[in-house]
Amino acid sequence: MSAGLRLGLFSVNSYACSRPETAARVARQAETCGFDSLWAGEHVVLPDPRVPPSPMDPGEPILDPLVSLAFLAAHTKTVLLGTGIVILPQRNPLVLAKQVASLDAVSGERLILGVGAGYLEPELNAIGVPMSERGGRTDEFLAAMRELWYAERPAYEGRFVRFSGVQAHPRPRRVPIVVGGHTPAAHRRAVEQGHGWYGFGLDLAATAAQMEGLREAMNRYARPAELGDLEISVTPRGTPDREAAARFAELGVHRLVLLPRRERDETALVDYVARTGETLLGAGG
């Protein structure tokens, strides 16, 4: 694998990893094998019966990502813990800001906050968020959370959130924000507000197209200097070999976040982590 390309593991809160003992064993294996990060997705509810584009059957288990990552923080030492992604418009931004600051503290400052605007209309409707408002809510909520974390006297006035005369401590260090999504709006949001961008389920051609979209956004929108370079994370379709991983790196990808098959067997999942670690990182299990 290309030097510098990091490896993450997705789905540490669903399928087999919805069982805490399995998730802990898989997390420790990933850390031993040199994976740099563990990633947990989010769906609060799933449509029943399943309808496109729902990624899961309604009876398949998925734990809350922040709860799961807090649990895994206690079973690991150095691996980063990422939400991939929190569906931000479904959350109360002040409550989420407190949860994020708390998880960052209990994990030893290992949290990466991945956020997205959401795409599953039945889920958004059930929670009371119109699809038409999800983008605006996402932008406001990100700004409001940063205000609460970092301003000396936090205050925010927007369409969807407003507050003043409040404080929330302890405050987190600079939590990396990763913006997920494949649309021009997501690209713009990543440029303006994200330390990183996360693309899911992409092959090499789709990754190249997304990278071009991000370059266009970089040319169009102002990027705050304090955000630094945009870090690119991608969950590829399938598990790449070393040659394919190197091609992702050539496109500008910094991290591959692998999605195992929907393994329900703990041994098979641990073996997958060990095998891919050996193949892509040269790590022993």
Q: What is the CATH number of the domain that holds 45?
A: 3.20.20.30
Q: Is residue 58 part of a domain?
A: yes
> Strands 111-116 and 177-180: what pairing?
parallel
Q: How far is CA 153 from CA 162, 177, 208, in A?
A: 14, 22, 42
Q: How far is CA 131 from CA 14, 28, 139, 177, in A?
A: 25, 38, 14, 22
CB contact set of 151 (below 8 Å; sequence gap of 6+):
none
Q: Which two tokens stand for residue 159?
A: 């369409």
The beta strands (E) that lie in 10-161 are given as 37-40, 80-83, 86-87, 111-116, 155-157
What does residue 89 show for φ and ψ, rounded to 5 degrees?
-65, -15
Structure tokens at 15: 């399928």
- Report pLDDT digits (tens) over 200-218: 999 999 999 999 999 999 9
Q: How many CB atoms lie within 10 A of CB 221?
A: 13
Residue 265: inside a domain: yes
Residues 264, 22: Cα–Cα separation, whole Å:
10
Is the four-CA dihedral 10, 16, 20, 26 of positive or negative sign? negative
Within a domain: residue 1?
A: no
- Say how many domains are in the chain: 1
In a domain, 95, yes or no: yes
The domain in which residue 97 lies consists of 6-281
Other beta carbons within 10 Å of 156? 19
Return per-residue pLDDT of the chain as tens, 285 residues: 566 899 999 999 999 999 999 999 999 999 999 999 999 999 999 999 999 999 999 999 999 999 999 999 999 999 999 999 999 999 999 999 999 999 999 999 999 999 999 999 999 999 999 999 999 999 999 999 999 999 999 999 999 999 999 999 999 989 999 999 999 999 999 999 999 999 999 999 999 999 999 999 999 999 999 999 999 999 999 999 999 999 999 999 999 999 997 667 899 999 999 999 999 998 544
In a domain, 99, yes or no: yes
pLDDT tens, position by position, 8-35 = 999 999 999 999 999 999 999 999 999 9
**Phi, psi for residue 239 in degrees, rounded to 5:** -105, 115
Euclidean distance between CA atoms 35 and 280, whole angstroms: 10
How many angstroms separate the CA atoms of 85 and 121, rounded? 16
